[in-house]
Amino acid sequence: MSGSGEERLIKIPNTFGLNVHAAAWLEYASIEELEQWIACGHITAPYLHIGSGSNLLFLDDYRGMVLHSGITGITVTGEDTDRIELRVGAGVLWDDFVAYTVEHRLYGAENLSHIPGETGAAAVQNIGAYGVEVKDLITAVETVSLSGEKHTHSERRTYAVGECAYAYRDSLFKRPEMKHCFVTHVRFCLRKQEHYTLNYGILKQELAAQPAVTLVAVRQAIIRIRNSKLPDPRVWGNAGSFFKNPVVPYALFERLHGQYPQMPFYAQDDGLVKIPAAWLIEQCGWKGRSLGAAAVYDKQPLVLVNRGGATGQEIKALSDAVQQSVHHRFGIEIQPEVNFIG
Ligand code: EPU
The alpha carbons of the chain give a radius of gyration, in whole angstroms, of 21
pLDDT confidence bin for 3, thresholds 50/70/90: very low
Question: What pLDDT, in 10s, does the model give residues 18-74?
Answer: 999 999 999 999 999 999 999 999 999 999 999 999 999 999 999 999 999 999 999
Spell out the SS3 assignment of 50-78. Answer: ECCCCCEEECCCEEEEEEEECCCCEEEEE
Residues 6 or more apart whose CB falls under 8 angstroms from that of 66 comprise 10, 12, 22, 24, 25, 26, 47, 48, 49, 50
The model carries a pTM of: 0.95
Packing angle of the helix pair 215-229, 94-103 (nearest 10 deg): 150
Query: Average per-residue pLDDT in the chain?
Result: 96
Q: How far is the CA of 302 from the centre of ligand 1 (A)?
A: 7
Strand-pairing partners, residue 154, are 146
CA dist 190 and 139 (Å) reads 10
CA dist 232 and 226 (Å) reads 10
8: pLDDT strictly greater than 60: no
203 Cβ inside 6 Å of ligand 1? no
Q: How far is the CA of 206 from the centre of ligand 1 (A)?
A: 16
Closest CA to 52 of 124, 111, 102: 124
Q: In what order do the strands lie in the sheet with 138-147?
A: 74-79, 83-89, 181-191, 138-147, 153-160
Question: What pLDDT, in 10s, does the model give residues 191-250?
Answer: 999 999 999 999 999 999 999 999 999 999 999 999 999 999 999 999 999 999 999 999
Domains along the sequence of the chain with CATH: 10-69 (3.30.43.10), 74-191 (3.30.465.10), 237-341 (3.90.78.10)
331 Cβ inside 6 Å of ligand 1? no
CA dist 150 and 336 (Å) reads 33
Smallest CA separation from ligand 1 atom 41, residue: 241
